Amino acid sequence: ADKSIQVKLVLLGEAAVGKSSVVLRFVSNEFQANKEPTIGAAFLTQKCRLEDRVLRYEIWDTAGQERFHSLAPMYYRNAQAAVVVYDVTKAASLDKAKSWVKELQRQANPHIVIALAGNKVDLVNNAAASSSSTTEETSEDEPDDATATPAELAQAASGDGLRAVARDEAQAYATEAGLLFFETSAKTGEGIVELFTEIAKKIPIE
């Protein structure tokens, strides 16, 4: 009864969005402010306990730098789950995430469970930020209404000076593409256990 189910999971996303940090938080409950870029990929494992079963995640944390892109298929080929990470303070990182999702939906296992994670939410979430020690820069850009994008208008309305991707925009995309969606912070731990637990619930029992 204690035999756990192995689940191969891959993390994908633009460089520096926090893939390795999300994994470090999940596996060791730690955070490193100056984490070095991943070279190639890193392998880690962590158990995930559900009410009725225990899964053992075998995690491939890939390198986001473009020169490593061609290695990715080796890691997602047999994956049962994928976490595609973007940075909520960097709009281009959501575009990159969308292109990873497309690649997975074309090339990976058709039954793969995919979750989209908008990381670094501590930088834009005042409630979470105020519980930590540092003072965030509060300089607020003044968006030019004539050229403001929906994301910029959402940012202005929410008062989140650093947010570049509105939560609703990412949630809507995730729903349309059939993905789980979470905003996370590897720094505070917000959303991290939920992310891996909700994926685990979607893995079919063999």
Determine the residue type at 181: F
Contact 87, 120 (CB under 8 A): yes
Beta-carbon contacts of residue 109 (< 8 Å; ≥ 6 apart):
77, 78, 79, 80
- Identify what 65 binds: Mg ion, ligand GTP, none; CB under 5 to 8 Å per kind: ligand GTP
Residue 8: Cβ within 10 Å count = 18
CB of residue 180 vs ligand GTP: minimum separation in angstroms?
18
Is 186 a binding residue for ligand GTP by CB under 6 A? The answer is yes
Angle between helices 19-28 and 192-202 (to 10 degrees): 90
Contact pattern for ligand GTP over residues 38 through 67, marking x by CB under 6 A: x------------------------xxx--
Identify residues 11-50 at the interface with Mg ion (CB under 5 A): 19-20, 38
Is 5 a binding residue for ligand GTP by CB under 6 A? The answer is no
Is 34 a binding residue for ligand GTP by CB under 6 A? The answer is yes
Is 21 a binding residue for ligand GTP by CB under 6 A? The answer is yes
Contact 19, 13 (CB under 8 A): yes
Centroid of chain to Cα 50:
21
The residues that touch ligand GTP, with contacts defined as CB under 6 A, are 13, 15-21, 32-35, 37-38, 63-65, 119-120, 122-123, 185-187
